[in-house]
Structure formats: structure tokens, C-alpha cells
Structure 1
Amino acid sequence: MLGLLFALYIYFSIHLKTKLLNIKTNLMEAGYRNLFDEEIGQMVHQGCSSTDWNLIKVSTDFIPDNIQNCKFSGHIRLNSFTGYVNLVGGITFKTGIYNAWLHNCEVGKNALIHNVRSYIANYKIEEGVVIHNITTMAVDGESAFGNGVQVEAINEGGGRDIPIYDYLSAHVAYIMSLYRHRPKLVTALKKMVFDYADFVKSNQGVIGAGSKILNCNTVLNVKTGAATTIDGTKKLKNGTINSNFEAPVTIGEGVIMENFIVSSGSIITDATLVSNCFIGQGCFLDKHYSAVNSLFFANCQGFHGEACSIFAGPYTVTHHKSTLLEPK
């Protein structure tokens, strides 16, 4: 019964999202135009260049005043930039694009992109996003953004691996890892997860509306939901941050994460290291915590110590460097 319900959920989710995507794409095509010659001239005067100006499409209300010292390559979509953003320290900044190289990007209304040391490639940047003082943000080839990554939880030597995906629950993970006496069930569940991972694969990442990406080094093959804050991270690679306005996610200073999925309402900060992990809703990893091949479900907390191949059910808490957690 669980497997059937899961299969129906995945099936209808995929088909509904496909229809909505097609509708949204058609609407987007209708709302864009080519740059006028006067606009190209103004942008060149403001220090901008493009490998092909014909590949840049803009919204009907676009004004080029706030596009300065930028390089564009590939297919570009720009919206209007007429608002203001308040930065830390009470600084007010006009929205727009300043000192950046964009390749195959779409930038939403009233976003701010400022001081990109290298480039941004293959991203849809939604409305109200702030990207300030970063090095590189790119999607390289097709990516499932952490979906389908095999996490070797419970047994460090493998054999109970669990493929993670955006909607992983403790119940489904428990069945996939500990019901090895039901091989057909486990195989069917894993196939559904891999089918979902194939569905979400894309060569374009998304930065959700209202997100802030500040003072970061490398963001590679990462997708974020709305209201995500990424501030001072060292490296994020191959992952999804499922943030939303009701339960935003914060990724803080010194964090390095690779092959991950972070659920809504979680906070990961203070030089935490994460590799091959699923982090559930409302989790808090802090104070130099380190996690490898582990699953953390709702409301877990980890401080100071480390986790290796841990299956941490809801409300698991560790606050000591010497803690050894063993699955029972």
C-alpha cells in the first residue's frame, strides 16, 4: 500500500509539473522582446558587452539604466529593475546588474546582482533575489541537484544505501534500509526515487524568489527554493535547498556541502561540513559539525561533533565532540 501511494504521488507530481512548465514557458515567450538599438547603445556606454545582442530578450517594461559593467553570453532574459534593496549596515542599493558576467541566464524582476568575480552560468534567478560579492555560480551539464545520491547510512561499509530525494521521509528511508528481506519492495521504491531524479534533471538551476546569496566562493549545480539565505559559504556542490517563505533555510559562514538535500526551515552554519547527506525539516547543524553519509530527519540538532553513516530519526540531538551514535 505504501509503495502504491508513493508511486501515485510521484506520477501525478511529474505530470502536473510538466503541464505547468509548458504553460509557464508559453507565457514567458509572449512577454519578451529584443533590445532596441538605443538600449544597446546605452548599455555599451555603461560598460556592457555581449557576444550576440540578438540573444538577449527583455521584458516589455525593461529599462537599461541599472545594467553596468556587465558581459553577456549565450541566451539571456532580463526583466525590469526599478526597486531598491537594503543591505547590511543600512546601505540602500538600486536593483539591477553590476560588475558581472552572465551566461545563459534569466534574471527576474527587481533582482540585484553585484560584484561577481568570475561568472554566473545556466541559472534562472527569480524575482527579488540578491546576489552580492560571489566568485562562481554555475550549472555544469545536466544535474539532478542531489536527488538520487546514494547515502550509505547505518553500515559504514555499505549494503544499506538509501537514494535521497526532495521528499524523503524517515518511514520510506527506514523501509529502504532495513527491509532487505523484502527485495522487490526495496527495488520498487528505489526505482521511484531514481525516476524522480531523472525527472528533475536539468541543465539550468533555479535561485528561488527573495533569496540572498552573499559573500560566497563556489556554488556549483545547486538549486534553491524561495527565501534561501546563503551567506559566507565556502563551497556548495550538487544539492537542493528546499526553502520557502514560511520556513526559510539559512546556510552560513564557512560551510562546505557536497551531494546534499536540505529541507525547509533548517539552519547550517559556522564551518559545518556536509557530504552525501539528507537534512530534514527544522534541523540545526552548527559549531564545526561534520556529517558524512548520514540522514537527519525533522528537528535534529548537531553541534561540535561528527556523524558517519548515521540514520538520525526526528529529534535526534548531539552536542558533544565525544558522542558516538550507534543505530540500534
Structure 2
Amino acid sequence: MDEYRLLTNEEINILEENGCTAEDWTNINVADDFQPTYIKNVNFYGEIFMGVFEKNIEVSNGFVRHSGIRNATLRNAYIGDNCLIENIGNYINNYAIGEECCICNVCTMETTAEATYGEGNTISVLNEAGNGNVILFSGLTSNLAALMIRNADNRDFTAAIRGIVKDDIERRERDKSTVGNNVKIVNTTEITNTHVSDNCEINGARRISDCTLSAGPEDNVFIGSGVICENSIITDGSAVLNGANIANCFVGEASQITNGFTAESSLFFANSYMSNGEACAAFCGPFSSSHHKSTLLIGCMLSFYNAGSATNFSNHAYKMGPIHYGQLERGTKTASGSHLLLPANIGAFSVCLGKIANHPDTRALPFSYVISDGKDTFIVPGINISTVGLYRDIRKWPRRDVRIQSSRKSMINHDWLSPLTINEIIEGKKALESMKETAGEDTPFYTYNGCKISRNSLERGIRLYDMALKLFAGEVAAGYDLTAEGRTNGKGEWCDLAGMLLPKEEERNLVNAISNGFLRSMADVEMFMNNINDHYGEYLTAFTRDIIINQLGAEEITESCIEKIILQGNEAKKEWISEIRKDAEKEYSMGDVEHAVLEKFINQLEAEQ
């Protein structure tokens, strides 16, 4: 609707009879087909634009009401066609509102000249007291945020990526003060300097200030009762509900913050679920979850993570302030009552139990149990490979991705045995074998980075790591053509950008392309990252060829070599399934599960062989 006219004298008379007033009736602009019938008890200030009010709109499932404006004060407002706006306790000031919106029982909606709408704010993640290392904007993904954090000390990269983000924000073709089409805002106290995109709903919130609610075309954002959001971005099917309180946060891609959860300077990506507890300076990557009131996530980087009740991270290791932080690599869990004193780095798919105060670094011992009583810390290397918990976890995550296909921005690789974890397994296996050789086979406990490993645990860890290595190689050999020469840059180090697995060399290429100005826009960066992700299979093939030759003793990759690797992999898989079955039967023998549950699980295991 681009053309407007002034009110006729007859229309002004009708509006005044309906209880309306205007600071200046000549500042009221209306659509050609405007009818004043449904405008009652409205006070107009400044410049006003209004569309038509000729349709019913749905205010609740199956309940429709006629559009119109009643009991409201408007100043410098644009109202699209067929909106229902009523019972505005204070005023709507400097807002452009789209078509067929329902805005009822709201106290104040206002924008001011200095508004940022939460876009472009820089926050400090992990190091709570550090300089800002992540820029909040609607297009942020877990992968890009992880890249920002990993390369925060690279001045050229940081300057370049901030310039790209700034340009991306400025290029957005929308009025930042706009409420989009088909938006519902009801029973809400205050909305200040907030952009609300099409189809979003705010119902019962206390205050939404300096925020952007950015929904995908099929994936709306929902803000529920008692919520306070400040300086934050909420995107693509995410929800903030039930008294949650967030400030300086990003909540994206079907994530949910609910039941009084509080968060500050934190990131939540792709199917994360946070309830009751609190987070500060936390990076919660894909599938991070916390359900309990007594849980504090602070100064930590997580993904595919589950927090047990009363999990507590401490970033005040000494007296220099909250400067410490740590990483729990993908798939790690913390048991109920666990306390991790940062700095600490925990290897992938591990489980932390007890009060761990000696700042362990177990990245070279993935799939481990890390257990402490506040004094001695014990590691049980590789034990989680053989547990029912891991078996269930690696199958549940792909099924629990509830993101709409068109809104899947963060790239998530679900492989549990991948070049990332295999590199760690190889390093861990070498470390265990070296300890055994150096300290001897009769040593009751071995020492690793200040932690203790029992002799039995060390022996079992070597065996489990060897089994996992053969299982990985066998599965890749069965699924890919390893006999054909291809890329070589999958060899060597790999990294995890919060869900995206890639060779370290490709991360360096990406960082250099941004730093040197080769990538000039967010579209360029996304295309470069998508290209890396699309070639995962080729990198994986190059990595596996190298592993077969350098770790599994093959002289060259031939058809007969591949057959042998696949056979070894099949045997390793049988061993793995057998270990998991033993773990399930052990749990049954403790009286923790019913026999029918055990039987169903074993049938599922047998179907895998």
C-alpha cells in the first residue's frame, strides 16, 4: 500500500464521534478505501499512516474478530491493512506495523533514535571478563560463532569479520522499527527498540528491549509469559518462555529457553534446550541441554551436551576474577552434582563425575570417565565407547533435529567416529602405551596430566581405542571408494566448529580468505563454508587412506587391503555391540530396568549386526 490521502471532513467527524482525537488531523494519512467505522477511542499524535480495516483476523484458534483500532494512543505510527489494535495502556510510538497483526492489551511499544535492535552488539563468550569476541546478528550460526572465538586473537581476521557483519546488517532491506505481517503481540507490558518479523508471537512478556525476533519463512519465534529479553537475537523457530530472563544472548534454530532460566552473554544454537538453571558467557552449541534449577553453565564451550542436576562450572579458579574458561568437546556429559573448576578441557564424548578441581586436559583421551572427589582425579580411558548411554546418544541427535529444512543454517555433522575423534583416539592410545612401557605393567596407577589411571583401566582403554579405530576404518572403507586418489588436505589435524567437522588446513584457508579480503560479504563466507562442508566425504576419504597406511599397517590401498579393513571393521563392530550388550545386562542386574526394556534394547542391538 503505497498511496495515501488525507481524511475527509466527514471521516474526521465520524472519528470524533467515535471518541478519537488528533494533535493535527492533517497529519493523518489513510488508504483510498479507508473507512473510519472501526476506529474508536484513539488519540493520534505526530504523523500517522493507516490502511483499510475490512477483514476479520484470527485472535485465537477458531476465534476471529473484526480488524480495527480501539482504546489506543498512537504517535508517528504506520498501521498496515486489517490489523486489530486495542487496549494500549500507554502508547505506540515510532513503530511501523505490517498487515493483519493482532496487538492487544499492550502497555508500551516504542523505538528511539539510537536503537540497534540487538544487531551488531559484541559480547564476551567463555572469558567473562575478556574483550568481546562474538558479534550478535540475525545471520549468526554456531559454526561462524565458533570461528570468531577460535580466532579472536587474530587481529586481521577479527577486523575483517566485524566489517562483513556490519555490512550485512546495514544491507538488510527492512525498516528496523517494523513489526512484520501476521504478528501477534498480546498481554505484554513493554516492547522497546525491537524488530519483530513476520508470523512471530509475543504473549504475556514483561519486557522486550533492544532485540530482534527474526523468524524464517516457515518457522516463527515465540516469546511467552513473564519473559524479559534485552539486547538479544532470537531466530528461526526458537522460543523463550515461562519467566526466562536473557540479556546479550543469541537464541537460534529451534532452541528453547524456559521455566525461569536466566542467561547473560551466552549463545544457544540448533535444538538447545535450557530450563530452570542459568548460564553466563556460555557457548551452547547444537543439542546442548540443561533441565535443572541448580545448574550453572559459565565460561564453557559445549555441544551435544547434557547437564546433570547441580552441575556447576567455576570460572573463579583463583582471585583474579572470572577470567577462566574451558571446553567440553562434543558429546560430553556432566553427572548430577558435578563441579568443574576452570580452566579445564575435556575430551569428546566423555562423562564428568564429582568435583574436578585439578584443571584436567583430557582431549587426547576421548570417550573417558573423568572422576574426582575434589582431590584426586581418576580417568577411565575410552570406557564410554562401550556404554548404552553413548549408543543411545549417537542415535537420538539426528532424530531430534526439529529445525525446519529451510531454516537449517548451522551445519551439523553427527559422526561420532570421525577424523576429529580418531585423531584423539590415536594420540590417546599412544599415550597409554607409552605410560605402560615407561612405568611397567605392574604399576597400580599411572599418571596422566595430574590425573590417575589404574592398570586395568589403561589396558582396557588401549583395547577399546584399538577397537574404535578398526570400526571407523571399516565403516569408511565400506561406504567410500578408498582406492581412487583424491584430495590430500583431509590428512592431519581436524577441528570442530560447533557441529561442523573440517580439516584444520581448511579452517586456516577460511580464516586467511576472510583476513585477506578475498571473502567480502556474508554470502561469500557462507558459500565458502558450505563448500568445505559439502566436501566432507572427500576429506574423510583422504584421512582414512592415511590412517590405514600409517596406523593399520597397510603398505598401499588395494582392493584386497580394503577387503581386509572391512573384515576387521565387521569384527570390531561385533565386539562393540557385545560390549554394549554387557553394559545393558549389567544395568538390568542392578535392578534399574525392567526385563521387557532390556529385551527390546537387545533386539535393537542384534538388528545392527
305 and 97 in structure 1: CA distance in 2 versus 1, 3 angstrom threshold: same
**Percent of aligned positions that are identical:** 33
2:277 to 296, 300, 305: 305
Q: Give, in angstroms, the shift of residue 181 of structure 1.
A: 4.0
Selected match of 1:248 from 220, 240, 247 = 220
- Matches of 1:286 and 1:126, distance apart in 2: 28
Instruction: Name the amino acid aligned to 1:239.
Output: C
- The answer to whether 1:222 aligns with 2:194 is yes
Preserved contact between residue 124 and residue 204 of structure 1 (Cα < 8 Å): no
Q: State the match for 1:262 in structure 2.
A: 234
After superposition, the Cα gap between the structure-2 partners of 1:180 and 1:228, relative to the gap in structure 1 and judged at 3 Å, is: closer
- Decide which of 211, 220, 234 is 2:183's aligned counterpart: 211
SS in 2 for 1:75: strand
Conserved in 2, the CA contact under 8 Å of 1:288 and 1:305? yes
> 1:56 deviation in Å?
1.0
SS in 1 for 2:265: strand
> Which amino acid counterpart does residue 233 of structure 2 have in structure 1?
I
Looking at structure 2, the residues matched to 71 and 106 of structure 1 have their Cα atoms a distance apart, in angstroms, of: 14
AA in 2 matched with 1:272: A
Structure with greater proportional helix content: 2
Query: Does the CA-based 8 Å contact 1:152-1:309 persist in structure 2?
Result: yes
TM-score with structure 1 setting the length? 0.87
Name the structure 1 match of 2:159: 187
Q: Give the match's secondary structure for 1:216.
A: strand
* Residue identity opposite 1:213 in structure 2: I
Judge conservation of contact 2:118–2:210 (CA < 8 Å) in 1.
yes
- Which residues in structure 2 correspond to 1:1-328 (within 5 Å)? 28=2, 31-88=3-60, 92-198=64-170, 205-325=177-297, 326-327=300-301, 328=327
Instruction: Answer yes or no: is the 8 Å Cα contact 1:81–1:109 preserved in 2.
Output: yes
What are the Cα deviations for residues 180-208 of structure 1, in whole angstroms up to 9, with x where unaligned?
A: 34220111101222344455699861111
SS in 1 for 2:185: strand
Asked if structure 2 preserves the Cα contact closer than 8 Å seen for 1:286 and 1:303, the reply is yes
Structure 1 residue 145: deviation in Å? Answer: 0.6
TM-score, structure 2 normalization: 0.48
The whole-number CA distance in structure 1 between the counterparts of 2:15 and 2:99 is 22
Which amino acid counterpart does residue 52 of structure 1 have in structure 2? D
Structure 1 residue 297: Cα displacement: 1.2
Cα distance change of structure 1 residues 80 and 295 upon mapping to structure 2, 3 Å threshold? same
Separation (CA, whole Å) in 1 of partners of 2:82 and 2:136 = 34
The CA distance in 2 between the partners of 1:174 and 1:245, in whole Å, is 26
Tell me: CA distance 1:306–1:39, structure 2 relative to 1, closer, same or farther (3 Å).
Answer: same
Q: Secondary structure at the match of 1:117?
A: strand
Distance in 1 (CA, whole Å) between partners of 2:226 and 2:184 is 16
Between the two structures, name the one with larger relative contact order (CA 8 Å, sep ≥ 6): 1
Bigger shift: residues 102-111 or 184-193 = 184-193
Distance 1:247 1:54 in 2: 40
Q: 1:9-51: per-residue Cα shift (whole Å, max 9, x none)?
A: xxxxxxxxxxxxxxxxxx71xx211111111111111111111
Q: Which amino acid letter does the alignment assign opposite residue 43 of structure 1?
A: L
Aligned partners of 1:139 and 1:203 also within 8 Å: no
What letter matches 2:23 in structure 1?
T
Deviation (angstroms), 1:159:
2.8
Please give the alpha-carbon distance, in whole angstroms, between the structure 2 residues aligned to 1:185 and 1:177: 11
How far 1:52 sits from its partner (Å)?
A: 1.1
Larger-Rg structure: 2
For 2:295, the aligned partner's letter is: T
Aligned AA (1:299): N
Contact between 2:117 and 2:176, CA under 8 Å: does it hold in 1?
no
Alpha-carbon shift at residue 144 of structure 1 (Å): 2.2
What is the one-letter code of the residue matched to 1:313? G
Q: Quickly say closer, same or farther: Cα 1:154–1:201, change in 2 above 3 A.
A: farther
* 8 Å CA contact retained: 1:144, 1:197: no
Counterpart residue type for residue 70 of structure 2: Y
- The Cα shift of 1:268 comes to 0.9
| Whole-angstrom CA distance in 1 between matches of 2:175 and 2:132 | 30
Deviation at 1:87, TM superposition (A): 3.4
Paired residues of 1:227 and 1:244 also in contact (CA < 8 A): no
Q: Counterpart amino acid of 1:214?
A: V
| Deviations 1:287-325, CA, capped at 9 Å, x for gaps | 111110001111111011101000111111111233344
Root-mean-square deviation (Å): 1.9
Q: Return closer, same or farther for 1:72/1:292 CA change in 2, 3 Å cut-off.
A: same
Structure 2: where are the runs of 5+ without partners? 302-326, 328-609
Query: How far apart are the structure 1 equivalents of 2:50 and 2:30?
Result: 5
CA distance in 2, matches of 1:193, 1:86: 38
Tell me, in whole angstroms, the C-alpha distance in 2 between the residues paired with 1:256 and 1:201.
Answer: 28
Q: 1:160 to 1:138 in 2, by over 3 A?
A: closer
Contact between 2:88 and 2:107, CA under 8 Å: does it hold in 1? yes
Give 1:176's aligned amino acid.
M
AA partner of residue 36 (structure 1): T
- Tell me which amino acid in the other structure corresponds to 1:147: E
Quote the Cα distance in structure 2 between the aligned partners of 1:209 and 1:89: 18
| Number of residues of Structure 1 aligned to a counterpart in Structure 2 | 300
* 1:80 partner amino acid: V
| Contact 1:305-1:320 within 8 A present in 2 as well | yes
Shift of 1:88: 4.3
SS of 1:85's equivalent in the other structure is: strand
Distance across 2 between alignment mates of 1:97 and 1:234 = 23
